[in-house]
Structure 1
Amino acid sequence: MDFETLRTTTLDVVRDHQAWAPVITGIIAFCESLAVLSIFVPATVILLGIGALLGAGDIPFVPVMVGAAIGAILGDWVSYEFGRYYKDGAKRIWPLTRYPEMVTKGEDFCRRWGAWGIFVGRFIGPARAVVPLIAGIFLVGRLPFQVANVTSAFVWAFVWLAPGAGVFGFLRA
């Protein structure tokens, strides 16, 4: 299945099953935030499309935004714990072995920014895929990681969904 087919199918499902929009959006955000899987899922385009559906229809903004944030939180958390568990061994697992430059950039990013890098990294495409994993490898503390993870996930969900929903579309609860 190509990216365009995945995008249109997902948006059709959300349009046809609006009650499931928060769950579907959460799953997409989870895939977007999970290390490695995010490389293969066109989540950004799908999230913008879901935002447009929010603006055009009767789907309330807040539950979908919360669903996206929860999915993003869980995806980063799983990536972080994977890094903590496997430590440097995580860098020797496919597909990270195919993208050593991405891992190196993620390491430099974590060294430079620490836990704050989790927040910033969520908004940088390539970094989003590896920063939580690298933070786990570098043993960034769980509490600072989770504070950055949770706060950035809600801001990120709003940023990706609000433009399509319209300036005031998010006020429909």
Structure 2
Amino acid sequence: MLENFNALVDGLPPALVYLLIAFLVFAEAALFFGFVFPGETAIVVGGLLASQGELSLPLLLVIGVVAAVVGDSVGYEIGKKYGSRLLDTRPMRKHAVKVASAQDLIRRRGAFAVFIGRFTALLRALMPALVGSSRMPYPKFLLFNFLGGLSWVLIFGFGGYYAGAAFEHAAQIAGRGLAIGLAVAAVVAIAVWSVRRHRRERAVEGAAETGRPAEPAVTDAG
């Protein structure tokens, strides 16, 4: 997914790249894009581009925080307006287990659940609307939404930036060919881990819906 997004923004003017990153981060909760595209991918790639001088890191961070807060606020208003009817929508029914988990987290943690949910892709898309439907006061939601969005953007923005800087440093020391090989290996490892995590989550959701225990993951012997 990182490679696909990087290819998408390659050659675009910086203004359009900022706009695309802002839209993807905003749409994660406001339009429930988080079900299919985790917003941190856009922030990480933005950080990588900033390390190459293509974007301004401070501006990227500001845009990311504003887009995250505004997008979650729209999600909150959607949940507040539609309430329980939102749970009957197809995306919510499809991820019923995650919805129940998010609702339980809200009951146990209150506003702090907004901060926690920011760091889990699917909860990040669900949490604002569910909090809105729970009628939590908006000022309380906004405070924890801002703190979570700020922490999330800083972590992934600086992560992408320093990953790009480390790549350039490795290229200078070990040669660009070896550095590219290591980068590809890292991307493949992340992709494999993401696919396996997604499969485990789907297995757990499927088991919960059918009432059967999930099958244990198969591990290599020895």
Offset from partner CA, 1:75-102 (integer Å, 9 cap, x none): 1111111111111111001211211111
Matched, 1:110 2:79: no
Contact 1:27 1:68 in 2 (8 A): no
- The answer to whether residue 9 in structure 2 is matched with residue 11 in structure 1 is yes
User: What's 1:153 paired with?
Assistant: 149
- Partner Cα separation in structure 1 for residue 133 and residue 85 of structure 2: 9
TM-score (norm 2): 0.67
Cα offsets for 1:122-151 (capped at 9, x unmatched): 012221121111101111111100111122
1:74 to 70, 74, 92: 70
SS at match of 2:90: coil
Give CA deviations for 1:14-41 in whole Å, capped at 9, x if unaligned.
xx31234433221121123336321122
Partner of 2:20: 24
Aligned partner letter, 2:133: I
* 1:11–1:49 Cα contact (<8 Å) kept: no
Q: Structure 1 unaligned segments of length 5 or more: list them.
A: none
Offset of 1:152 from its aligned partner? Answer: 1.7
Q: d(CA) in 1 for partners of 2:99 and 2:91?
A: 11
Q: Normalising by the residue count of structure 1, what TM-score does the alignment of the two structures yield? A: 0.84
Q: How much does 1:73 deviate?
A: 0.9
2:45 corresponding residue in structure 1: 49
Q: Is the deviation greater in 145-154 or in 83-92?
A: 145-154
Assess if the C-alpha contact under 8 Å between 1:122 and 1:128 holds in 2.
yes
**Identity in percent:** 22
State the secondary structure of the residue aligned to 1:95.
helix
Quote the residue 2:173 is aligned against.
Answer: none
* Contact 1:83 1:134 survives alignment (8 Å): yes
Alpha-carbon offset, residue 74 of structure 1: 1.5
Matches of 2:38 and 2:121, distance apart in 1: 11
Which residue of the partner structure matches residue 93 of structure 1?
89
Aligned equivalents of 2:87, 2:59: Cα separation in 1: 36
| Matched-pair contact (CA < 8 Å) for 2:118–2:124 | yes
Shift of 1:42: 4.2
Moved more, 100-109 or 44-53: 44-53
After alignment, is 153-162 or 21-30 more displaced? 21-30
Rounded to whole Å, the distance in 2 between the matches of 1:143 and 1:104 is: 24
Cα distance in 2 for residues equivalent to 1:67 and 1:89: 32
- The Cα of 1:110 is off from its aligned counterpart by 0.7
What SS does structure 1 have at the residue aligned with 2:46? helix
Superposed counterparts of 1:138-149, under 5 Å: 138-149=134-145
Which sections of structure 2, spanning at least 5 residues, go unmatched? Answer: 166-222
Shift of 1:58: 4.3
- 2:56 — aligned with what? 60
CA contact (8 A) 2:28 2:34 kept: yes
